Chains A and B, each alone.
Chain A
Amino acid sequence: MSDHELRVSKIRDGTVIDHIRAGQALNVLAILGIRGASGETVSVGMNVPSDRMASKDIVKVEGRELSQDEVDVLSLIAPEATINIVREYEVVEKQQLESPDRVVGVLSCPNRNCITNADEPVETAFDVLADGVRCEYCETIVRDDLASHIAVE
């Protein structure tokens, strides 16, 4: 894509999450806890034409690098995504997502009768399976629409 076609501007320091499956950008923002009130400069492209994926979403966050927990959960809902760390307008690090063994404190359990949904001092924890995740407490398996189970603070 040439510069005159750029839909969103380059960032100076921060993170570009590219090749997000089309339609998942808002879920990516939810994982990052970005709801607009915290003041970060954020650019979002949705359904952007892509050579590799036909269409994709892209999220650029100024002044922020992602924690391992955030990367882990991103890998569940946007496994094809790439993460570019940008410093002084240059990509200094490219990261492919790898699926973690477990995710802690990020997804909520869809089983309403799970102890993690009672008012107890316990964080949710899910084992990551080949095709979904499984609650470590009630053992419920979630395969579809993981994004809807993201526990947003």
Chain B
Amino acid sequence: MRHDHLTSAKQLSRADIESVLDRAAEIDADPAAFGDRHRDAVLGLCFYEPSTRTKMSFETAIKRLGGDAVDMGTVESSSVTKGESLADTARVVEGYADALVLRHPSEGAAKMVSEFVDVPLLNAGDGAGHHPTQTLLDLYTIRENAGLDDLTIGIMGDLKYGRTVHSLAYALTNFDADQHFVSPESLKLPRSVRYDLHDSGANVREHTDLDAVLSSLDVLYVTRIQRERFPDENEYRAVAGEYGIDLETLESARDDLTVMHPLPRVDEIAPEVDGTDYATYFEQAHNGVPVRMALLDQLLEADR
């Protein structure tokens, strides 16, 4: 990958993706070989929203490459509370770090910051927009478990606001993948995402019922339906129940189905699924470290 910012999965070509995933596989096979690669590198973490997996795996990734991280901390403890703009904060922090990781609640935040900073910027989630580094680890997990070509994938849950869904759907257009989107009417893919998928000629189908496609799937990617998207508790409960899975749901699935989830989950996947061969979501979360190591390794290498 060339030295650049990564703000959207749309920037990633098939060759870019395969190059990161191949590097991640090398790292997975022999992590110690990469332990000294970026001894003096500092990664700046700017998280304007809560995060466990993304933030900790970036921190682990840079440390396992021999570098270190500096963290803005919570919004409440930073200069944001004094009214500093995001553009200013980013320009300050770039002076402390060799690359920046940004999570922000507004769509387009990472694109805007990329216009202000010279060090590589990684978008770790911008509102309901994009989450391209999650996509890379999702693709890595899919490649390890089912393969990325000749793939039939179901993506279920909050397709409207789910940034992991948007980024994954774009990235899969680089591969020979049939994408089935399963959601309630009110949480279907947004117009902008559908526009891009059609534009790329992707094979996309939308459903309101998982049963219509479950038996044909290689991968089922489940996402969380958020309570705050619904006007009342009853409506939320009804929808959340319908778009969750348990052992009974999975009776009609193929034996080699891979079940993924970007986590955190609430009720979408019953704990009884965790012990089955379907469950791949914890492995998926762990893959965040080698994949982010691979991405940082390439970006910092190009930046030297």
- A: residues with CB less than 8 A from B are 111, 113-122, 134-141
A119 touches B106 (CB 8 A): no
Count residues on chain B whose CB falls below 8 Å from chain A CBs. 19
Q: Distance (Å) between the CB of B12 and the closest chain A CB?
A: 16
Q: Distance (Å) between the CB of B84 and the closest chain A CB?
A: 11
A120 touches B86 (CB 8 A): yes
B192 touches A134 (CB 8 A): yes
B192 touches A137 (CB 8 A): no
Q: Distance (Å) between the CB of A131 and the closest chain B CB?
A: 10
B87 touches A121 (CB 8 A): yes
Known: A120-B112, A122-B112, A140-B192. A111 touches B107 (CB 8 A): yes
Known: A113-B105, A115-B106, A120-B86. A136 touches B192 (CB 8 A): no
Within 8 A of A (CB), among B123-162: 126-129
- DSSP majority for the A interface? loop
Complex A-B: 23 CB contacts under 8 Å: A113-B127, A113-B128, A114-B107, A115-B86, A115-B108, A118-B86, A118-B106, A120-B87, A120-B112, A121-B87, A122-B87, A136-B108, A137-B108, A137-B111, A137-B112, A138-B106, A138-B127, A138-B129, A139-B107, A139-B108, A139-B192, A140-B107, A141-B195
- Tell me which residues across on chain A come within 8 A of B86, comparing CB atoms: 115, 118, 120
A141 touches B192 (CB 8 A): yes
Bitwise interface map of B from 183 to 203 toward A, beta carbon under 8 Å scored 1, else 0: 000000001100100000000
Asked whether B85 is an interface residue with its Cβ less than 8 Å from the other chain, the reply is: yes
A121 touches B85 (CB 8 A): yes
Closest-by-CB residue of A relative to B127 is A113
B192 touches A115 (CB 8 A): no
Bitwise interface map of B from 102 to 129 toward A, beta carbon under 8 Å scored 1, else 0: 0011111101100100000000001111
- Tell me which residues across on chain B come within 8 A of A113, comparing CB atoms: 105-107, 127-128
- Tell me which residues across on chain B come within 8 A of A141, comparing CB atoms: 191-192, 195
A115 touches B112 (CB 8 A): yes
Q: Distance (Å) between the CB of B247 and the closest chain A CB?
A: 38
- Please measure, in the bound complex, the distance between the C-alpha atom of A118 and the C-alpha atom of B104, giving whole angstroms: 12
- Please measure, in the bound complex, the distance between the C-alpha atom of A122 and the C-alpha atom of B113, giving whole angstroms: 10
Q: Distance (Å) between the CB of B249 and the closest chain A CB?
A: 33
Q: Distance (Å) between the CB of B252 and the closest chain A CB?
A: 36
- Tell me which residues across on chain B come within 8 A of A120, comparing CB atoms: 85-87, 112
- Please measure, in the bound complex, the distance between the C-alpha atom of A115 and the C-alpha atom of B106, giving whole angstroms: 5
- Please measure, in the bound complex, the distance between the C-alpha atom of A87 and the C-alpha atom of B128, giving whole angstroms: 52
A135 touches B108 (CB 8 A): yes
Count chain A CB atoms within 10 A of each CB in B107, B127, B195 and give the residue with the most.
B107
Besides A115-B107, A120-B85, A134-B192, 13 new A-B residue pairs in contact (Cβ under 8 A), listed by A number: A113-B128, A114-B107, A115-B104, A118-B86, A121-B87, A122-B112, A135-B108, A136-B108, A136-B111, A138-B107, A138-B129, A141-B192, A141-B195
- Please measure, in the bound complex, the distance between the C-alpha atom of A118 and the C-alpha atom of B108, giving whole angstroms: 10
Closest-by-CB residue of A relative to B7 is A137
- Tell me which residues across on chain A come within 8 A of B107, comparing CB atoms: 111, 113-115, 137-140
A119 touches B129 (CB 8 A): no
A114 touches B85 (CB 8 A): no
- Tell me which residues across on chain B come within 8 A of A139, comparing CB atoms: 107-108, 129, 192
Q: Distance (Å) between the CB of B88 and the closest chain A CB?
A: 8
Bitwise interface map of B from 90 to 109 toward A, beta carbon under 8 Å scored 1, else 0: 00000000000000111111
